[in-house]
A and B are shown apart, each in its own frame.
Chain A
């Protein structure tokens, strides 16, 4: 198992830059990834939020933040791994000096980079147009939470990417992404759901991440922080294992 050593740090850098360039050259990836959460936030968080000064815009800042970091994590990872495998890139990379860990780590950084861009965009919109006022500690912990919170989704995307074929991976990820985001209350706050649907929300990972974020701004449903964190860690663990198995399978084929 290779780790990052000085010897191959160059190949890692190349891999990372390659990843970023590829993402930037694919408008079908970066436009929806960056634009959608910002656009939704402008619509629902800013334009329609004249009730309650800064309340709605703060709540939705958190939920669209979660929504925002999900898509680079899922698609940047899952869809790209699957399409690279289809095109034979993955096989080529497995032969190259880039170790599998570097390959994944480069993708992870790439996803985080897009995540940060989205977070900065949302924070700017919320602060300038949405009357969102938080302490510096709240701003920072929210940003940090969203960064770390993308990890379970990265694992999920990777798991799908290693197991599904290129086109179907995108379809599967969309099937996971949109329903779980909506049912987790990212678009419409979960407390506006009927009671039974509120209980359904608790089985989705984005719900738990958004509750942690809402906890930071004192708007959560008040469930235990530990249960949310546990849920996120379990998701991370399960999908990492599935992804690992998928990677091994891709070596065999």
Chain B
């Protein structure tokens, strides 16, 4: 008994001691912000006047009079204003500054339907950073789309994988998923016009494979028959509307029954059919507009040219009207309609065009509230997105505060007072995070050109920039059924550490650094003059001295995989580019390289 007591006392002492030690009390940005007395649309319904409290990037409370509950909260007066969830554009193609542009217009999440993998993979990390001031919209991406050889999607000047046999569906989908695709986008067209399409068998197989591997399968179609095939094949949704004059009743019933959705992308259809409504849109976001936009944050002068529509004079208003009629009919049948613009295709631009899309949906026959759902909760439901699309507890603090009532007139979504992303007001002083690579990236396969996944061209590099006298020239060559990059040069000894070779930058201006700490190795095929060569990795953390890895080359093509795992992660967190070079004791040399990859 006594022993037990002593043991208990000792344990108690230790427990108390460790409990009393000081621990970090408050997480950064712990303070609560409340937007008070705004008319709140929660993604589904108008709630009336509510206070919305958020902290660390998440909504913590939605109720009347929260100011007593959170006494230290920072209060933003929302009286006579309207608060809606951050808008979601369900159909875009995102790269470069797309996401920073989108967020200024209140689009806080974009669903991309085909882009460069390197870009998409860098955004996935960011969308998990709920409490950071990232100053851009979050991105979900299909990555590479599923299309036939020479099919739609192959025409943009960079090579993508294609599928020519339904038996390859499982492997093809698995490859997309391993690249990081959040869902699978399929291009399907039975019309026989335009580019080749996958056949129905492949369509069915890819949809089945996607579902087996736990991903949604969405289908690009442009006519009724293709839409009907996709729906019957079990697609989760259609990512375009169609302009076929047809009774969509039975299609609508099937879609409603099976919870299949449609993203009509009226914006791009309007552009294709010459329905130009950009004038009002541009005006509404210009300085001194009816919405009293306070400053030039929308940068409208730069965006306006992108809104010029595709067709010009050859207007086909009847066809566009049909697309709207079909959309309205499907909506009436209960089909989930999602707002998507297909930005930045001609006639559309990131962010701004979603406001146009909402107007086109209302014009088609949806109510204002239905249109708002199409850009918020409907997208979250359809794509099973958590934490967004609603103003509710435990959702991201992605919201748009507008000064006029969008339930009265949908164009009032343009009266933006403030956009909140992760709880931060969108201004022009956003914190810059270094993009992090979270999947493999191709620096060059040299099939068509010598451009990397980062859209940068391989450049000759030598010690001449430090006063050396080594020579180098590089060229794109074809030999023995192989395309490759050829370097020809001579290493001369004027500079103490001479080199000559080829450089691939990670950004067009070579100023942007990228975090490659998760990259395991650099791999490539090479042959050339026998000797030792080097990979040089340029880290901003060590500006005067690139990280160097040696490798040997001889007259045979060989695959080299140079591991980066022994390099200090701190150096790899900020890398601007990679060079493959010859150094001493080489003098005159020829070096060929092919299939250069950063392997994740």
Contact = CB atoms under 8 A, between A and B. Distances in A.
B568 A136 contact: no
Contacts of B22: 127, 132-134
A135 interface: yes
A140 B18 CA distance: 7
Interface of B: 17-24, 568, 570
Which of B18, B22, B23 neighbours the largest number of chain A CB atoms within 10 Å of its CB?
Answer: B22
A131 to B, nearest CB: 8
Nearest to B13: A120
Contacts of B570: 222
Contacts of B24: 133-135
Given A222-B568, A222-B570, A136 B21 contact: yes
Contacts of A120: 17
B568 A123 contact: no
A139 B18 contact: yes
B198 to A, nearest CB: 49
A163 B22 CA distance: 44
Nearest to A143: B18
Given A120-B17, A133-B23, A136-B19, 15 more contacts: A123-B17, A123-B21, A127-B20, A127-B22, A133-B22, A133-B24, A134-B22, A135-B23, A136-B18, A136-B21, A136-B23, A139-B18, A140-B18, A143-B18, A222-B568
24 contacts: A120-B17, A123-B17, A123-B21, A127-B20, A127-B22, A132-B22, A133-B22, A133-B23, A133-B24, A134-B21, A134-B22, A134-B23, A134-B24, A135-B23, A135-B24, A136-B18, A136-B19, A136-B23, A139-B18, A139-B21, A139-B23, A140-B18, A222-B568, A222-B570
A23 B125 CA distance: 56
B455 to A, nearest CB: 34
Contacts of B568: 222
Which of B23, B24, B568 neighbours the largest number of chain A CB atoms within 10 Å of its CB?
Answer: B23
A249 to B, nearest CB: 38
Contacts of A135: 23-24
A127 B18 CA distance: 11
A222 B573 CA distance: 14
Interface in A112-165: 120, 123, 127, 132-136, 139-140, 143
A130 to B, nearest CB: 10
A120 B405 CA distance: 62
Contacts of A136: 18-19, 21, 23
Contacts of A123: 17, 21
B228 to A, nearest CB: 58
Contacts of B23: 133-136, 139
A140 B20 CA distance: 12
Interface string A34-70: 0000000000000000000000000000000000000
B551 to A, nearest CB: 25
